[in-house]
Amino acid sequence: MLINCPVCNGIKTARSRIKTEIIPYFGEVMETSVVCDICGYKHADVMAVDHKDPVRYEIEISEDRLSNRVVRSQSATVSIPELGIKVEPGPKSEGYISNIEGVLNRFQNGVKQSLILFQEDEAQKNAKNILKKLDKLLTGELKASLIIEDPFGQSNIVGLEVKKRPLTKEELANLKSSFNIIDSNNE
């Protein structure tokens, strides 16, 4: 379907696509994308349609697990605690389907972008150190844990070596979800 581009305001210059499908291990997902042929704007999102119990996935990152499938919903927090890096959901969070290598590449891109913003020497030094460690994770020289915590249970890491457990009430209370929840039972 052709729509007006939200960036360049081109009339019917952006192609919009919405597709639902059943993905093994994950259930029904809805994929959306918008691509403008004029300015090149691209936006894609993957949203799980099925709602499940809050869950935490953890896997040790190693070279032979880089191809393990990862689904991150727009409500999930992704972290590598050994490197001190975490991506939390916000109002414009997007879901994605990737693999562990792709998640590490996303972290690399985020850290590289932050290098441009950091003016302080210490912040620059820390960012460069994280990039070196991410490179070592990709080559198998370093091991660390990839953790996904999802309050709506829509994310997943596939593999026999994945540790999966319910989130505790305390963990759940400390997670950002990117959604405003109104409890009508409170007076």
For 51-178, give the CATH class. Answer: mainly beta
The pLDDT of 96-112, averaged and rounded, is 94
Beta strands in the chain (DSSP E): 2-3, 14-23, 27-36, 42-48, 55-61, 69-72, 77-80, 85-87, 96-99, 144-150, 156-157, 163-166
What is the percent of the chain with per-residue pLDDT over 90, rounded to a whole number? 63
φ, ψ for residue 43 (rounded to 5)? -145, 130
With H, G, I as helix, E, B as strand and everything else as coil, classify residue 21.
Answer: strand
In one letter, which amino acid is 39? C
Instruction: Supply the pLDDT for residue 148.
Output: 97
Residue whose tokens read 């704007």: 41
Instruction: Supply the pLDDT for residue 75.
Output: 87
- Report pLDDT digits (tens) over 1-35: 999 999 999 899 999 999 998 876 667 888 899 99
In one letter, which amino acid is 18? I
- Report pLDDT digits (tens) over 141-168: 999 999 999 998 889 999 999 999 999 9
**CA–CA dist 184, 187 (Å, integer):** 8
With H, G, I as helix, E, B as strand and everything else as coil, classify residue 76.
Answer: coil
| Banded model confidence at residue 180, pLDDT cuts 50, 70, 90 | very low
User: Is the model's pTM score more than 0.85?
Assistant: no
Q: Which of these, 173, 154, 124, lies nearest to 50 by C-alpha position?
A: 154
Question: In CATH terms, are 1-50 and 51-178 the same topology?
Answer: no
Would the pLDDT of 183 be above 60?
Answer: no
For the chain, the first-to-last Cα distance in angstroms comes to 45
φ, ψ for residue 161 (rounded to 5)? -90, 5
Cα→Cα distances 19→29, 32, 37, Å: 8, 7, 20
The pLDDT of 61-80, averaged and rounded, is 93
Q: Which of these, 85, 82, 3, lies nearest to 41 by C-alpha position?
A: 3
∠ CA 65-76-179 to the nearest 5 degrees? 170
Q: Where are the domains of the chain?
A: 1-50, 51-178
Instruction: Supply the pLDDT for residue 26.
Output: 63
Q: Exposed, middle or buried: residue 57 (CB in 10 Å: 0-12, 13-18, 19+)? A: buried
- Report pLDDT digits (tens) over 43-69: 988 777 777 899 999 999 999 999 999
| Banded model confidence at residue 97, pLDDT cuts 50, 70, 90 | confident
**CA–CA dist 28, 18 (Å, integer):** 13
Fold of 1-50: N-terminal domain of TfIIb (2.20.25)
With H, G, I as helix, E, B as strand and everything else as coil, classify residue 177.
Answer: coil
